[in-house]
Structure 1
């Protein structure tokens, strides 16, 4: 047994030395020169003295005595000299693994409405278009009916057959045809057949020029509904010294044929101090042209077979809400010569005026202005033959009113 123990002992000591070297945390580290201990002085070789007795550990390499590890595991290490950088993950929760397998589900997010009282919220409304077929709806502009004939509007679908298959007035089946007929008459009378009456004094003025002082009136009015009206017109002029020169009165039936346009027909009676009274048939057109020009044009056929025509145009240019500048143009023409009336054939005369009026009220507006008139052809010759002027300019003062 003693020999066996002596034989195994070197193996045990070698294994212990190997184990201690493997567990050294600094094994393989390069120690800096500053911290490396100075080597011990070389020992003088001496001849060992062999003991007289046999050493059981003879031939064994005895490891140096183990030094207990220092407290700082990095004591004596050469540390880098660059400044430490800020850890980009400082403050991050690094407890989770760096990578999560694709099969691992993400953690559930907290409910943002946790703790809210949802009992008072209104229930979701049903979709009003649920079940509707929206594929046939047009994405173009809405089809809004207007009075303009616009070819760019989308086409309208024809009425379905079922819409025209029933009675003309479906309410007759419920309330009776007689009761509903009376109701429709009341509706037309109160909403669609309003009766109106108006009198418009377009010009009531005095003119001054070339030593001559004149006056004139231009008045018209109507009574009736939106479609059918009785229309009357009256014009006249004279001199402050000589009195009335001529006057006319028209009685017309007026019917609306287009928006803002009326066709008028009737009679005209002219009155003159010399007794040359004349009666005419009248056919005219009156209305509002584009750009807000008020147009009044008519043809006159006298009982003597003379055909004449007259056209007037006026435009109101608002400078302020009360101050209005009105240009006015009047043109007269005749188909034949009428010597007794000092009228020649063709273009007989032109009048152009400019009036500035101030509306104290819409119904009462005095004005001042200037008007130029010119006679042409045989008409100018007739006027000059009796000592008049074919060309005349005068200053005017007047009043425009209506009621």
Structure 2
């Protein structure tokens, strides 16, 4: 059995079928890893084992179950730091419920520092909106091909007092991977820190946070388990212990203190200061197992497997007359993310037909990245759409279809996507009637 076959058979979803609305039994071809990944049996077994054998609260008792649960939970921090190449003597891990919360925590930790936050126009809303809440924000533009405008980035750093550069490790829309190490070096040269949203990157590409005194050190890194082959509900923020000590608790409460009186409180130190209440213990333990599983497979293998599929499939998708692939980024600089439209057919219709008629699971819409998507689509009336939405009027939001490659996907899975898209294009007249065109420039760009 090949290494790939051994990996694929660990995912029950690969043999799952469903009944389509037409009553036809179809095998599921899962190409929605950019939204959430399925846990392999080993991770599910670890999750289930904790619930069955070791279920107890952590750091709260001297009995066997509490001690066992605490040891399993605490070991995950070490696993994450090692996987990310972070210095365990200075860096710590705070567990959260999702990447959004982890990113907001980073923004909160930096909120008392003078200066603005620099975000790119390709960010997921979760690495944009929290920073707007915590203080002034400047934006780095993207280029027409969907990549980052590094000249604009450097200019913004030179001409503004920037305290934090918040950048995605890989776009959830195009898969583009900014040079986070070059950005870190540049940010540090201008007295800023860097926050990397690694939600998409974690399970697809090796990451090195590097020592604290390295010019390309990553100061903050956030990611979640549900995009890295673990169950929902466990995520994390990695940062220097001093950063966690620089602010009062993100959510004050149980576990965040050393001692409390009627009128005062002594806060806990480091990550404990921000780990309030009972965390998702089972989810964190499963996250640790997923990280160990990926580490044993090897991130170089994961990356190579993805590239071997991405390169020929993207070429074939682009070669279909009547298909528009968003962005023009070389495969070597992106993850296995394929965003596309079929002009004349609404993206919602395309995604639905892929599911109902071919069993192919994709995602469609704006992908929680409206500024980036409107730029990629050449939307000239985003403000007009905003006004309609704000007024409660019907508005056609821009969007696309997105297929994302995961560790258990085969070339055959993606060939079926290409064949299905080609067939939908061939039957375009059948599906074009499913949309109600409006005059907005965004809709014209979309369809």
TMscore range, shorter length: under 0.3
1 or 2, which has the higher helix percentage? 2
TM-score (norm: length of structure 1): 0.19
Query: Which of the pair has the greater relative contact order for Cα pairs under 8 Å at 6+ separation?
Result: 2
1 or 2, which has the higher strand percentage? 1
TM-score (norm: length of structure 2): 0.17
Higher Cα radius of gyration: 1
